[in-house]
Chain A
């Protein structure tokens, strides 16, 4: 998953690539895409749980980034800036989907009284005969659990746990405060722990 994503901090070559992109060098943009395509796709996939949708949204995000790159001023790292675009595109899509469905897919109103900070879920081991099937099952459980989070909660948990981004980077990417990021992380973790504990404790 992370083979193509060694860049965690902006370096000179990345800034050079960005500058070349700003001068219309599409070859430089190809290099940036290669660096981030897997991470972007993975992030979006975990948000939308559909490979084709994730593919399309990743393409949309990269197209939007290419169109917006002349306005990138380098105040944040490129990948934080890119993730902001990715998150905007994905969260907008999820919201529209939710409106179209006419239902409430997510439950944002998780209260402290519903999740005890010290709550524990008893592990429930499930042994499936076939390994492949087991992986599919695990993946399905993860998708179902993440699907129960709001887009904003999905975004913070994925950026923190999978992308290993810092609070301030997540805040920048989502356009919110660090406190909000930490609060969302709290609820997202608690919810996923309750929903997935039996899975990750048994794997």
Chain B
């Protein structure tokens, strides 16, 4: 349902038709006065159109606008370029940093591996090195190894030319 103002406006602009128009006209208390008002409104429209202000120096307007657009585009472009350049620098820095860290980590791992002492060797621990009487076996050595986990002790004899008789008897 249109308000009176909307119907009046539509009627002034000849946009009201059919039943809506009939109903509207029937609702007017003084049709002649309303018609005069409509003509007056139309005159107002024509009058405003006739008195419309024209743009003088239209070409200068365009020229000024072009200069302004160029001026306003230039800082935006350089800012964009700066951002892009900065981005490349940041990317380079980032890649450089990552590479350095990787190299550092690799070196650290290698150095640590090199330096790590064999922790608790699974092999025997040498606990004694003994030399046999040189008159009997000049190059003979006796070593004793022990493996604690397995509770094993090994006696390693090397360079023994002959086994003394008393050893054999034992």
List the interface of chain A (C-beta within 8 A of B).
Answer: 1-2, 4, 26, 29-30, 33-34, 37-38, 41-42, 45-46, 54-55, 58-59, 62-63, 66, 112, 117-120, 138-139, 142, 157-158, 160-162, 167, 179, 182-183, 185-187, 189, 192-193, 196-197, 199-201, 203
With A192-B44, A200-B43 in contact, do A37 and B58 touch (Cβ < 8 Å)? yes
- Decide if the interface of chain B is mainly helix, strand, loop or mixed: helix
**Considering residues A160, A182, A192, which has the most beta carbons from chain B within 10 angstroms of its beta carbon?**
A182
- Expressed in whole angstroms, the minimum distance between the Cβ of B62 and any Cβ of chain A is 6
A200 touches B9 (CB 8 A): no
Please name all residues of chain A whose beta carbon is closer than 8 Å to the beta carbon of B44 when the two chains form the complex: 161, 189, 192-193, 196-197, 200
Interface size in chain B (residues, C-beta < 8 A): 42
Given the contacts A33-B62, A46-B53, A63 and B6 also touching, CB distance less than 8 Å: no
Q: Which of A42, A63, A193, A201 contacts B52 (CB 8 A)?
A: A42
| B33 close to A120 (CB less than 8 A) | yes
Is residue B37 within 8 Å, beta carbon to beta carbon, of the partner chain? yes
- How far, in whole Å, are A120 and B33 apart by their CA atoms in the complex? 8
Contacts of B13 in A (CB 8 A): 160
B80 to chain A, nearest CB (A): 13
**B41 in complex: contacting residue of A4, A33, A45, A193, CB < 8 Å:** A193
> Are A117 and B37 interface neighbours, CB within 8 A?
yes
A161, B49: Cβ atoms closer than 8 Å = yes
A-B contacts, CB under 8 A, total: 120
Shortest distance between the CB of B9 and any CB in chain A (Å): 4
**Closest Cβ of chain B: how far from A86's Cβ, in Å?**
13
In the complex, A57 Cα to B76 Cα: how many Å? 22
| Cβ distance A194 to chain B, nearest Cβ, rounded Å | 10
The 9 closest A-B pairs by CB, nearest first: A200-B47, A186-B5, A41-B55, A182-B6, A182-B9, A118-B33, A161-B45, A183-B5, A1-B52
The chain B residue with its CB closest to the CB of A29 is B69
Q: Does B34 contact A (CB under 8 A)?
A: yes
A183–B3 touching, CB < 8 Å: yes
Provide the residues of chain B in CB contact with A179, threshold 8 Å: 2-3, 6
The complex places the Cα of A183 from the Cα of B51 at a distance, in Å, of: 24
A120 touches B62 (CB 8 A): no
For A158, list chain B residues within 8 Å (CB): 48
A-B contact pairs, 9 of them (CB 8 A): A38-B55, A54-B53, A117-B8, A117-B34, A139-B53, A161-B45, A182-B2, A183-B5, A189-B12
Closest Cβ of chain B: how far from A32's Cβ, in Å? 11
Q: Is there contact, CB below 8 Å, between B62 and A63?
A: no
Q: Does B72 interact with chain A (Cβ within 8 Å)? A: yes
- In the complex the two chains form, what is the Cα distance from A191 to B36 in whole Å? 16
Name, among B30, B54, B64, the residue most crowded by chain A CB atoms within 10 Å (CB to CB). Answer: B54
Q: Shortest Cβ distance from B40 into chain A, in angstroms?
A: 6
Give the residue of A63, A139, A192 whose beta carbon is less than 8 angstroms from that of B65: A63
Q: Which residues of B contact A37 (CB under 8 A)?
A: 55, 58, 61-62
Q: In the complex, are the beta carbons of A118 and B30 less than 8 A apart?
A: yes
Q: Is the CB of A187 within 8 A of B5?
A: yes
B68 contacts chain A at the CB level, 8 A cutoff? yes
With A38-B55, A41-B61, A185-B9 already in contact, 6 other A-B pairs whose C-beta atoms are closer than 8 Å: A38-B58, A46-B52, A63-B72, A118-B29, A120-B36, A201-B40
Q: Are B9 and A139 in contact (CB under 8 A)?
A: no
| Min distance, Cβ B2 to any Cβ of chain A, angstroms | 7
Contact residue among B9, B15, B30, B33 (Cβ-Cβ distance under 8 Å from A183): B9
B92 interfacial by beta-carbon distance below 8 Å: no
